[in-house]
Structure 1
Amino acid sequence: MKVLVATDKPFAKIAVDGIRKEIEAAGYELALLEKYGEKAKLLEAVKDADAIIIRSDVIDAEVLDAAKELKIVVRAGAGYDNVDLEAATAHNVCVMNTPGQNSNAVAELAFGLMVMAVRNMYNGASGTELKGKKLGIHAYGNVGRNVARIAKGFGMDIYAYDAYCPKEVIEADGVKAVASTEELYATCNIVSLHIPATPETKNSINYDLVDKMPKNGLLVNTARKEVINEADLLRLMNDRPDLEYVTDIMPVHHAEFADHFPGRYFSTPKKMGAQTAEANINAGIAAARQIVGFLKDGCEKFRVNK
């Protein structure tokens, strides 16, 4: 059995060493394709792979057509919208992610963005504090729960909304569960987004929803670019000079945000929520273990396609 690590943006060496240890201990061969740049190189490398570990690399129908021996793809990370799930199912390929491995890294970055925003982007002017502010967590999954944990240390008043997480689970963590997104935004000074990009959530963070936020509201996005209705948010920030937006995913209209709202908008140059040494190692090794579990025992615990 051959396991291919196909990463245009490579894992750290320590992560690759950990992956190799897991794969070779199971009696499988490990192959590396790093910084490949051209899709043609990926298409050639997948031809004899039984399993693939990826990061943000795209696995589409063309790749799956080329990978005649492929049985499983594991995305080292939580998001998996870079994999064509329908095509994978049609090719009888299992797709998994590694939920929770990057969660603390993303949550810590969310707070880095929050602190920067309430301190006026560190421009020297007097800012405000997070203590006592009402924080809304939009989606209470692995990242959202880490955000709640950290927020307690800041002394924040914490609220959460998740359509799929029972109220009892949220409130067991000492977090106030609200009944709707509208209530979350209307209640909280700061809202931190942790929703996936799905047909239901794309463009769902729109004018009417964000406009419900109290004066001097702050929207923090470490989730996905696609969930933001950018045209609406541009219009709203123009209409409401008290609102701020900070994001870990550069918008399509980044230049417009930056030009029109200096001091009220910030984007990282590239998505970096999961870019820590710890998260890099954790996600890579988890991916390797999941592949071994699948190939040896048929374990599909983290399968995301049907």
Structure 2
Amino acid sequence: MKVLIATEKPFAQKAVDGIRRIVEEAGYELALLEKYTDKAQLLEAVADVDALIIRSDKVTAEVIAAAPQLKIVVRAGAGYDNVDLAAATARGIVVMNTPGQNSNAVAELAIALMIYISRNRFTPGTGHEIMGKTLGIHAYGNVGKLVGRKGKAMGMEVIAYDPFIKEDAVFEADGVKRVGSVEELYAKADFLSLHIPATEQTRGSIGYELLMSMPKGATLVNTARKEVIDEAGLMRALEEREDLKYVTDIAAGIQAELDEKFGKRVFATPKKMGAETAEANLNAGLAAARQIVDFFKTGNTRFQVNK
């Protein structure tokens, strides 16, 4: 079996070394494609591989067609919208993610963004503290739970909404109040931390009406996906509400215009940074390698996302 790490944005060397050890101890071959600049390089590299580990790299139908031996793709991270699931499923290819491995890194960034914008992006002037404010969590999964716990530790009141979690006890265990609707969540949140995936149902779902319902001085924090934001609605809300703020780890398609119009009220990290810690890098890479070995050895598909 041949396993390829294909990462335009490479893993840390420690992670690569760990992946190699796991793969080679299992008796498989490891190949490496890093910092590639042309899709043709990826198409060539996948021609004879059985397994593929990626980060934010795009596995399109064209890539899948170029990989006749490919049996499994593992996205080292939680999101997997960079993989064409329909094309993979049609070929019988298993697609997995590594849920939870990057969660703490993303959660810490979400809290950091709240503090950064509250302190006027660390420029002179009187800012605000986040203690005592209401933190809303939209989607209470691995990252949302950690953001909520960190918010509680910093003295915030935490509320959450997740229609897929039926048990109140999940929220109560963290001292988090469950609200009954997304509208109620936004209407009460001084800081709204967004953790929904990009799906047909969620793309463009966060827009003008939800933002306009937020309390005075509220901030939307997006460490999820830019596709879930209705950018025209965001622009309109920021124009009409001079007190609203938007901070994101995924620059909007209109980010330059947002920056020009709204100055310190908006901020986007220069490049997606949610998983950019040494710990997350290592955890996700090793998890991906272990899942591939387990799949080939035992058929385990626990983290398959294209069932």
TM-score by length of 2: 0.98
Asked if residue 32 in structure 1 is aligned to residue 57 in structure 2, the reply is no
**Matching residue of 1:246:** 247
222-231 or 170-179, larger mean C-alpha shift: 170-179
Distance in 1, matches of 2:204 and 2:169, equals: 29
- Identify the range of structure 1 (175-184 vs 163-172) with the bigger mean alpha-carbon deviation: 163-172
- SS at the partner of 1:149? helix
Post-superposition CA distance 1:15-36 (Å, at most 9, x none): 0000001101111111111112
The aligned counterpart of 1:193 is 194
C-alpha deviation, 1:208, in angstroms = 0.5
Matches within 5 A, 1:170-249: 170-249=171-250
Q: Is residue 2:300 matched to residue 1:299?
A: yes
In structure 2, how many angstroms separate the alpha carbons of the residues matched to 1:47 and 1:218? 46
Once the 2 structures are TM-superposed, how far is the Cα of residue 72 of structure 1 from its aligned partner?
Answer: 0.2
Distance (Å, rounded) in 1 between the aligned partners of 2:58 and 2:224 = 18
Consecutive unaligned residues in structure 1, runs of 5 or more? none
Partner residue, 2:124 = 124
What is the match of residue 4 of structure 1? 4
Question: How far does residue 39 in structure 1 lie from its aligned partner after superposition?
Answer: 1.1
CA distance in 2, matches of 1:54, 1:293: 17
Determine the C-alpha separation between the residues in 2 that align with 1:181 and 1:82. Answer: 26
Please list, as runs of the form range in 1=range in 2, the aligned pairs for 1:48-59 lying within 5 A after superposition.
Answer: 48-59=48-59
Q: Deviations over 1:238-259 (max 9, x none)?
A: 1000101111100000111101
- Matching residue of 2:269: 268
**Structure 2 residue identity aligned to 1:171:** E
- Deviation sequence 1:259-303 (CA, Å, 0-9, x none): 110110111111111101100000000000000010110000000
Superposition misfits of 4+ residues, deviation over 6 angstroms: none
| Equivalent residue, structure 1, for 2:47 | 47
Alignment of 1:145 with 2:161, yes or no, is: no
Partners of 2:157 and 2:140 in 1: CA distance: 15
CA distance in 1, matches of 2:39, 2:299: 30
**1:281 aligned partner, one-letter code:** L
Give the CA RMSD over aligned residues. Answer: 0.8
Distance 1:7 1:245 in 2: 30
- AA paired with 1:144? G
Residue 18 of structure 1 aligns to which amino acid in structure 2? Answer: G
Q: Kindly state the Cα deviation for residue 127 of structure 1 after the two structures are TM-superposed.
A: 1.0
> Using the alignment, how far apart are the partners of 1:51 and 1:134 within structure 2?
44
Write the mapping of 1:18-167 to structure 2, written as runs, cut at 5 A: 18-166=18-166, 167=168
CA separation in 2, counterparts of 1:242 and 1:66?
A: 51
Do structure 1's residue 285 and structure 2's residue 286 form an aligned pair? Answer: yes
Instruction: Give CA deviations for 1:180-233 in whole Å, capped at 9, x if unaligned.
Output: 110001111110001100111111101011111111111100000001101111
Greater CA deviation, 38-47 or 134-143?
38-47
1:203 match: secondary structure:
coil
Q: Deviations over 1:85-134 (max 9, x none)?
A: 00000011000000000000000001111001111111211111111100
1:263 counterpart SS class: helix
Distance 1:40 1:257 in 2: 35
| Range 160-169 or range 72-81, more displaced | 160-169
Q: Distance in 2 between matches of 1:13 and 1:123?
A: 35
Separation (CA, whole Å) in 2 of partners of 1:121 and 1:16: 35
Q: Which deviates the most, 165-174 or 211-220?
A: 165-174
Report the CA distance between 1:168 and its aligned residue: 2.4
Percent sequence identity over matched residues? 64
Q: 2-side partners of 1:186 and 1:300: how far apart? A: 40
**Alpha-carbon distance in 2 for matches of 1:63, 1:197:** 21
Q: Aligned partners of 1:7 and 1:218: how far apart in 2? A: 33
2: CA distance between counterparts of 1:202 and 1:62?
24
- The superposition leaves residues 136-187 of structure 1 with CA deviations (integer Å, 9 ceiling, x where unpaired) of 0000000001101111211100000011112321122210000111000111
